[in-house]
Structure 1
């Protein structure tokens, strides 16, 4: 078993190390909308009964319309992390032909992950005995790879691949009997970049979408998978009955049908304010998305500790010691708090 990966959101541990109450910390360590949407009414029956099929269907139809996935009804899952861990099983079920029309025999167990990126993909496949190639460009993905993972936009640097580039990669993967996984966890802020509209024509494509990041409801633990029907059926079977709660399904159906333009506008405004705060403090912007900004500084580790002493948590990286990722601040007061702490750092 491989060592756990350090993710954002560890306020309890940070408060234990640096003091203060967790609720008084400013948590900028995750890429989550800091202003959760107002919750719509949830029918009492959603709390009282196990989630019946009609709740699942309503969420799937609403997700189809929100993501623009055409004939494909996205499958609700209890957070995309739950299905990342199922990907090795998808490959093992029947070799290269498990999720493809091709007849290519299995010759290896190689996986490609465009890196650096969300670490749980490499961990899931490595723990399952696959050889994981961390590649820095999709051009390095070859016919020897049974599955390739591209996070788009990427976490943590915000790198973006065009739809045309990813479609061409899919076609290369399919020709070799492989599968392309595109993780669009941070894609809701810019839906025009999504591959969802092409999914019904791309038979060896799996798309993962996050629900909680964009709506600010990460505690709901809800995501969606978009793929051809037989792949989704296998995932649904492996997750087992009632994998997603009735309240989560009800919320998804309501919020997907709401006008989300105000959310996107708010995220753009918060992102601009965060970047202004960071550049004013002398940090170099390395990349990012509407939900986080990646900054670079040679003293990133010292800045991280300095911010923790001011009860502000950001994300540092063991593989890139000069990087710090900042999630969105919730309001101008938080901008000032962050800015004052950064200005107080002695360089």
Structure 2
């Protein structure tokens, strides 16, 4: 399996395989906001001192307000939501876990590595008789499916009655949080994951949050240990999540980028199988050929081994990047048509 199929952002693999320098490439493979906001100046102590309790608490309060969590919710901060995905299964004795898929592969693998019995299901409702823990990504990655909050809350209530848990990964919800369960965090049987880096375009900062009950948040913090979040991440996260006007402008930029990507794909009648404000999923029988054709033109997208007819494409940052993508997709289609006609 190539790095490009394991995850997005495998630019080093693309350069090594198809040539060019990193600066030649347009990376549309990740679903991460390509235009981060202006970065606030960080205090010198953020780099030179261990994070202190006051700063960490300020980060948690900024996250509480930003995500709309009630005062009764527990919030655990981690160096990226992947750290939480990896740690969470170790807090439970081996049990049945259902993952609504196809989705981000890190969920199922984390629960399996911790000794749980994992099944993949198509809809959340199918978990009732199969598992005591259900994992749902909402909106889903990579097909953009969304699930109604009332349905998920009803499932969380049923799971809580038998000491189960609903895990909702909302990594792609920040730009359009209509069905988010963040404001329900704190109730038993529910844990919501949020990823700071995707919507703010700062994936390298490594910052994510679990919004859940105080006891479960405390258990995660204990597993993470002291100083899990770096001083720069504490300061940056607090500043950016506290800037309401700045985030409103950022969200508007993302929605404009998403509209531009949709228009780019719709212009040439590509089949859009799903989308969120941060990416679109294209379906085509020759998706693997299209992926290679785009790579030869130094554009990296995201293919999938389990669905060779899928290609995920992130937002171009500008009209010029969208035009470059449009030209490359047209050239790829002409290549396919020429091969079929040969």
Q: TM-score, normalised by structure 2?
A: 0.93
Contact 1:63 1:73 in 2 (8 A): no
The structure 1 segments of at least 4 consecutive aligned residues displaced by more than 3 Å after TM superposition are none
Q: Partner of 1:301 in structure 2?
A: 288
Instruction: Name the counterpart of 1:196.
Output: 182
Spell out the pairing of 1:1-347 with structure 2 (5 A cutoff). Answer: 6-71=6-71, 72-92=73-93, 109-200=95-186, 202-258=187-243, 259=245, 260-345=247-332, 346=335, 347=337
Could you tell me how far apart the structure 1 residues matched to 2:152 and 2:125 are?
11
- State which drifts further: 182-191 or 69-78: 69-78
Q: CA RMSD in A?
A: 1.5
Q: Displacement, 1:4?
A: 11
Contact 1:5-1:119 within 8 A present in 2 as well? no
SS in 1 for 2:33: coil
Q: Is the Cα–Cα contact under 8 Å of residues 143 and 176 in structure 1 kept in the other structure?
A: no
Deviations 1:12-40 (A, max 9, x none): 01110000012220000001100011101
Distance 1:144 1:340 in 2: 47
Q: Which runs of 5+ in 2 are unaligned?
A: 338-342
8 Å CA contact 1:61–1:73 kept in 2: the answer is no
Q: State the shift of 1:163 in Å.
A: 1.2
Moved more, 191-200 or 323-332: 191-200
* Cα pair 2:74 2:213 within 8 Å, conserved: no
Structure 1 counterpart of 2:340: none
Q: Secondary structure at the match of 1:23?
A: helix
3-state SS of paired residue (1:76): strand
Q: CA offset at residue 91 of structure 1?
A: 0.8
Structure 1 CA distance for aligned equivalents of residues 88 and 4 of structure 2: 18
Determine the C-alpha separation between the residues in 2 that align with 1:138 and 1:74: 24
TM-superposition CA deviations, 1:270-328 (whole Å, max 9, x none)? 11111111122331011110000011111101000000000100000111111100001
Counterpart for residue 105 of structure 1: none
Show CA shifts across 1:182-209 (max 9, x none). 0010111122321111113x21111100
The CA distance in 1 between the partners of 2:112 and 2:70, in whole Å, is 34
Shift of 1:221: 0.6
What is the TM-score of this pair, normalised by structure 1? Answer: 0.92
Determine the C-alpha separation between the residues in 1 that align with 2:311 and 2:130: 34
Q: State the aligned residue count.
A: 329
CA distance in 2, matches of 1:213, 1:178: 29
**Does the 8 Å contact 1:5/1:120 carry over to 2?**
no
User: Is 1:67–1:191's contact at 8 Å kept on the other side of the alignment?
Assistant: no
